[in-house]
Amino acid sequence: MRIVFMGTPDFAVPSLKALVASGHEVAGVVTQPDRPRGRKLVLTPPPVKKIALDHGIKVLQPKRAAAPEFVEEIESLMPDLVAVVAYGKILKKNLLDIPKYGCVNVHASLLPKYRGASPIQHAIMAGERTTGVTTMFIDEGMDTGDIILQHEVPIADEDTSLTMWKKLSDIGAELLMETVELIAAGRAGRNKQADSLATYAPMLKKEEGEIDWSLPAEVIRNRIRGMPPWPGAYTHRTLKGRRIMLKLLSGKALPDLSGEPGSIIEAGDGGLVAGTGEGALLIERLQAEGGRPMDAAEFLRGHRIMAGEKLG
């Protein structure tokens, strides 16, 4: 088949590589525009663009996926199928109607759960023990199309959004290839989603990363696991009248301890322990504003924190 691939971040890279290696013709790659990155704001191409250029594939980077001139370019590529993996923009009917076999999407959840832009993060923050990958035919809704295939994946207690990102991106590439072969053979099923069971995973906002110490310790721990790489989980301490951000990188819930929410219970050989709304949180790894990541013991050797100090 002649396929146009649409994707942007690292999550989409294994899928693009699998398509290129499959023998199907990748007629073009669509990705988001280059963006300024890092402290120096260097204009940087998306990971998918780099792979496409390495293989000599035509790259399109429209500012608007609904722009008439972009839709005309897709028409000119005459795709049999459009495969979408974490592209980041909603596709309208004028584009969905172009390919002979429609448009398919790889989504990192077991739909209809966690429709939206941040399914991996929201599943971990909710304390889920399983998640997965779904391929579906795209319609005009937000991840509401008919399901083709699903693959369930366990979430281990030590998993974070970063580790699950890697696992699900690799499985997504495998599931995409199975889906493409089913479509090529005319054997792809269509299973309607149960809208009554739908949950949503909207794009995270910076302020959602700030820890609410009145929440239970296990909920806070799951937020620390689910927030990387952005916005990350963080809190603040006040030192000499200045508010300093602390990024929390890993933690452990201590249900048998209690203390005032946000108040340091212990800061010493036993680690850095803060009270929460239910139980306490052992902060295992953290990063001071402008510093580097370190474990709590190392952090305490260079930062004076006393029992009773308040975070938040």
pLDDT at 40: 84
pLDDT at 269: 79
Contact 83, 107 (CB under 8 A): no
Burial class (CB in 10 A: 0-12, 13-18, 19+), 184: middle
- CB 122: neighbour CB atoms within 10 A? 22
Low-confidence ranges of the chain (pLDDT < 50): none
What span, in angstroms and rounded, lies between the C-alpha atoms of 302 and 283? 16
pLDDT at 270: 76
pLDDT at 123: 98
Burial class (CB in 10 A: 0-12, 13-18, 19+), 291: middle
pLDDT at 103: 98
The CATH number of domain 2-197 is 3.40.50.170: yes
Torsion sign across C-alpha atoms 192, 153, 120, 106: negative
Q: Where are the domains of the chain?
A: 2-197, 206-302
Class (C level, CATH) for 206-302: alpha beta
pLDDT tens, position by position, 60-110 = 999 999 999 999 999 999 999 999 999 999 999 999 999 999 999 999 999
For 39, phi and psi rounded to 5 degrees?
A: -65, -30
Torsion sign across C-alpha atoms 72, 70, 190, 198: negative
pLDDT at 119: 98
